[in-house]
Structure 1
Amino acid sequence: MTHASSHTAHDGAHYLPQQQPDSDGQAEILDLDAEVLAEHIASITAWLPLETTPRHIVDLGCGTGAGTFALLTRFPEARVTAVDASASHLNRLRARAETLGLADRVRTVPADLDADWPELGRPELVWASASMHHMADPDRALREAHDLLAPGGLFAVVELADFPRFLPADAPKERPGLEERCHAALAHHGTEHVSHRGADWGPKLAAAGFTVEGERTITVNVDSSGSKAVGAYALSSLKLLRAGAAHALTAEDLDALDQLLDADSPFSVLRRSDLAVRTERTVWAARRA
């Protein structure tokens, strides 16, 4: 997968091999992630230890806008500069902003954050969700974020512990533990290509000149009873999981996985009532002196 500067906050898609950087499938997952986990995103924005209400916010690796729209809701007087390397994601974000009547509060900036950073103003809050661990040189990116902030400004780094799980451990009936075997098949790839995943960002933030003022881990467990989007999220996510794990799975596992992914199959995830989105996300809040 390419660096997170081309992707977004909050998305499990960051933990899978990327097929096409601007694929509709990835954008769909980002949008579903935002919908299903909206309450958790809102709880993070409400927790941030801000000294003053921000008027300008920069969302680094904004993707289709999960963080951008949560921040616009939390801070109704603020404007957001949304930065991403994916043109299609930025187009999708702008279209939604227009639909919601928020276009005048959003500026989109195409940029590869592993290269030279564009002029982004002097924000009071910088938000980076599920993006920092994909940077080629995250220590450099942290220093850039430090220098970008206004004095006294806050930097929020949000990271998922891992790609979400959806199925019970004993599912499917014929191949229990299938989902974990898929994740195990991806483990080596993740270690090689996403080396900063799972990092403790506290010491890294301190080394970049920040004062870390808070750290919080949120346990995510959203079942499908309250949201039809959970099934669609599971379907889209498990399709990407299959793409990355297929080479290491047995024929029996692949057959069982394909039945789960077949929307017309009686065994489809869309017909399961026991789905849940399970993961953890941690947020670090760090201040520029």
Structure 2
Amino acid sequence: MENHHSHNHHHGPHEGVDSAAMAELLDLDANVLHSYLSDVTTWVRQLATDIPRRRVLDLGAGTGTGTIALAERFSRADVIAVDVSEEMLTRVQDKALFGGFAERVRTVQADLNVAWPPIEPVDVVWAALSLHEMDDPEQVLKDVFTTINPGGLLAVVEMDSPPRFLPDDIGLGRPGLEARCHDALEQAQASWEPHPDWGPHMERTGFTIVAKRTFPIDVTPPHPASTGHYARAYLRLIRPVLEGRMATDDLATLGTLLADDGPHSLLHRNDLIVRGTRTAWVARRP
């Protein structure tokens, strides 16, 4: 979730989500999964050793997790953060100032479903968990293609499945709650592909795939103190989508987990995990 969607919110279960709730989730994701983000941005930086690295573009920047990681990895590059939300971009600017990157990070507010903003040519484009939220991803890829300098790189990152947090038996309700949550979420997304394979799309646009890698996520106890908050933020985000798609007793159990207090609250459990995988494609503009 380094960008977790373009924050246009035109598709999927996150449409209409309160921006403060999304911002909280993005920042918690960055905190809990910091080692993963370091690994993936380092890998992209290594693949870019043979090209100029003067300007990097972050599409769907969110609260700026990816933007700041890119500024750290590409230490001499200017980084342009694009997002539709002014509130999100304010957070990007705050993080850049706090991290000492204000002179190298700038923001552009734009709805990529409406029009591509005027952006000077760039050498690297980063689109993490954002491309699948676009109305017309291939048009966005075409716009990216024309914006990248010849030889430049496009990195696209996608979640392969929803993150997992809970053991099968949580000591409350029926075992397998999280699996049933994921089944219900999949039903809700039946007309929308939240975890696409971007390789063929990138190649159709004219890019040449140079690398593909799957990054495992496995955060087990002892884990960061914010893990419970992270799990709660995610499950709160999908909770409205589950309404009417899960049994009443399951929804009641989920409500107990999401409570601020109580022995079963996610904020007080010591058996949480964070598991999943994210796949990254890196392609070159010939």
TM-score, normalised via structure 2 length: 0.92
- Which residue of the partner structure matches residue 200 of structure 1? 197
SS of residue in 2 equivalent to 1:171? coil
Alpha-carbon offset, residue 226 of structure 1: 2.8
Structure 2 CA distance for aligned equivalents of residues 231 and 172 of structure 1: 17
Structure 2 CA distance for aligned equivalents of residues 211 and 254 of structure 1: 46
Structure 1 CA distance for aligned equivalents of residues 60 and 261 of structure 2: 35
- Which residue of the partner structure matches residue 43 of structure 1? 39
Evaluate the alpha carbon distance shift between residue 15 and residue 115 of structure 1 in structure 2; reply closer, same or farther with a 3 A threshold.
closer
Structure 1 CA distance for aligned equivalents of residues 189 and 39 of structure 2: 28
* Conserved 8 A contact 1:84-1:109: yes
- Which residue of the partner structure matches residue 7 of structure 2? 6
* Conserved 8 A contact 2:59-2:82: yes
- Which residue of the partner structure matches residue 271 of structure 2? 274
Identity of aligned residues (%): 43
* Conserved 8 A contact 1:5-1:114: no
Q: Residue by residue, what CA displacement relative to the aligned partner does 1:188-218 show, whole Å, maximum 9, x if unpaired?
A: 22122x33x2222111111100110000011
1:38-77 correspondence runs (5 A): 38-48=34-44, 49-50=47-48, 51-77=50-76
1:1-289 correspondence runs (5 A): 4-6=5-7, 16-20=13-17, 23-48=19-44, 49-50=47-48, 51-192=50-191, 194-195=192-193, 197-289=194-286
Alpha-carbon offset, residue 24 of structure 1: 0.8
Structure 1 CA distance for aligned equivalents of residues 126 and 6 of structure 2: 12
Alpha-carbon offset, residue 172 of structure 1: 4.2
Structure 2 CA distance for aligned equivalents of residues 162 and 61 of structure 1: 20
Alpha-carbon offset, residue 92 of structure 1: 1.2
* Conserved 8 A contact 1:4-1:131: yes
Aligned residues: 279
Amino acid at match of 1:254: L
Amino acid at match of 2:217: V
SS of residue in 1 equivalent to 2:151? coil
Structure 1, unaligned runs of 5 or more: 9-13
SS of residue in 2 equivalent to 1:164? coil
* Conserved 8 A contact 2:202-2:209: yes
* Conserved 8 A contact 2:167-2:272: yes
Task: Give runs of ≥4 in structure 1 deviating > 4 Å.
Answer: none
* Conserved 8 A contact 2:7-2:60: yes
Q: Residue by residue, what CA displacement relative to the aligned partner does 1:58-113 show, whole Å, maximum 9, x if unpaired?
A: 00011111110111111111111000001111111111212222211111101111
* Conserved 8 A contact 1:80-1:106: yes
Structure 2 CA distance for aligned equivalents of residues 104 and 29 of structure 1: 27
TM-score, normalised via structure 1 length: 0.91
Amino acid at match of 2:112: L
Alpha-carbon offset, residue 253 of structure 1: 1.0
Structure 2 CA distance for aligned equivalents of residues 226 and 281 of structure 1: 19
- Which residue of the partner structure matches residue 11 of structure 1? none
Amino acid at match of 1:206: E
SS of residue in 2 equivalent to 1:255? helix
Amino acid at match of 1:191: A
Of 237-246 and 152-161, the range deviating more from structure 2: 237-246
Structure 2 CA distance for aligned equivalents of residues 136 and 103 of structure 1: 31
Structure 1 CA distance for aligned equivalents of residues 257 and 115 of structure 2: 43
Structure 2, unaligned runs of 5 or more: none
Structure 2 CA distance for aligned equivalents of residues 6 and 178 of structure 1: 28
Alpha-carbon offset, residue 262 of structure 1: 0.9
* Conserved 8 A contact 2:6-2:129: no
Structure 2 CA distance for aligned equivalents of residues 54 and 113 of structure 1: 24
